[in-house]
Amino acid sequence: MITSVNVFNGPTLYVFQIFLNWAKPPFDNIKVRQAIANGFNYDAFIKDTLRGKAKQAHGPVPSNFIGFAADTPAYSYDPVKAKHLLAEAGYPNGGFTIKFTYETGYFWKRPLGELFQSNMKDLGIKVEIQELSPSAWAGLLSNPDTANHAFGLVWWPTLATPYDYMWSIFDTAAQGSAGYNWGYYSNPKLDKLLDTASAEPDEAKRFALYGEAQKLLVAESPALFVYEKNYRLPMTSKLQGFVFNGVYIETLDFYALHKE
């Protein structure tokens, strides 16, 4: 008996990023960070590695999430501009090394690091790729004394607010073991925007503040906002009651699922 198969293909709330260590040279220079953001080929990763099952992220908040600012810009692959920015920053031929570290078991991080390595080589920047166990990786990055590494990180919400996307990985108070700000980004303006927005009862004003925070993070580029992931799930056409959970994408409501 042949059963037809349906494939669910829908956007998630997951944003995949490459973080740089804001606190360590040369990444304390905004032009270096912007150069790196302009020097990464987002389309190549999405089209070639992910086979088009994603789209480029515009900032830290996914485009289908409440409070996303639609006018948030995104970087595009522009190695000429990247080289110009590096020269303005005092690195006309690159000449420095980035350590890209990822943890075992995250299949997307190795090809992400390899494309990052290839793109940065074109700018005269050497990228060394290191694989660690998850515990060693987290221990390395959560310690400010040993966190001089670039790394890939995926983030998704636990609460229905842009605050959850930005505070945990960009607020000064979330550095080290206090959160997941392992790029050690610190900007009092962002901290104030997030605090003010979280206490603002008017929705329009609150979202305007969150939008300002999103655009600030893109401009300062403490991370490369690479892509928003699609989720694909094959299932028999006889299955009924499936409802996609965009937050916990591997979680199925078995009580609702039933056979046709």
Q: For each of the chain's 260 residues, which pLDDT tens digit applies?
A: 556 888 888 888 999 999 999 999 999 999 999 999 999 999 999 999 999 889 999 999 999 999 999 999 999 999 999 999 999 999 999 999 999 999 999 889 999 999 999 999 999 999 999 999 999 999 999 999 999 999 999 998 888 899 999 999 999 999 999 999 999 999 999 999 999 999 999 999 999 999 999 999 999 999 999 999 888 888 888 888 888 877 777 788 888 888 87
**Is residue 224 within 8 Å of 18, Cβ to Cβ?**
yes
| Burial class, 61, CB count within 10 angstroms (exposed 0-12 / middle 13-18 / buried 19+) | buried
Residue 243 pLDDT:
85
Q: Rounded to whole angstroms, how far apart are CA atoms 209 and 196?
A: 8
Residue 231 pLDDT:
85
Angle between helices 188-198 and 203-220 (to 10 degrees): 160
- Nearest partner of 103 among 94, 112, 95, judged by Cα: 112
Residue 49 pLDDT:
92
**Is residue 7 within 8 Å of 234, Cβ to Cβ?**
yes
118: CB partners within 8 A, 6+ apart: none
| Tokens representing residue 92 in the block | 């006309």
Q: Rounded to whole angstroms, how far apart are CA atoms 4 and 85?
A: 53
Q: Which domain holds residue 165?
A: 5-259
Residue 113 pLDDT:
97
List, as one string, the DSSP characters of 68-118: --TT-------HHHHHHHHHHTT-TT---EEEEEEETT-TTHHHHHHHHHH
190: CB partners within 8 A, 6+ apart: 166, 170, 171, 213, 216, 217
Angle among Cα 229, 230, 233 to the nearest 5 degrees reads: 135
Bridge partners (DSSP) of residue 240 are: 258
Residue 249 pLDDT:
78
Backbone CA torsion sign across 111, 116, 117, 121: positive
The domain total for the chain is 1
Does pTM surpass 0.75? Answer: yes
Q: Is 153 helix (H, G, I), strand (E, B) or coil?
A: strand
CATH number at residue 197: 3.10.105.10
- Nearest partner of 152 among 24, 19, 49, judged by Cα: 19
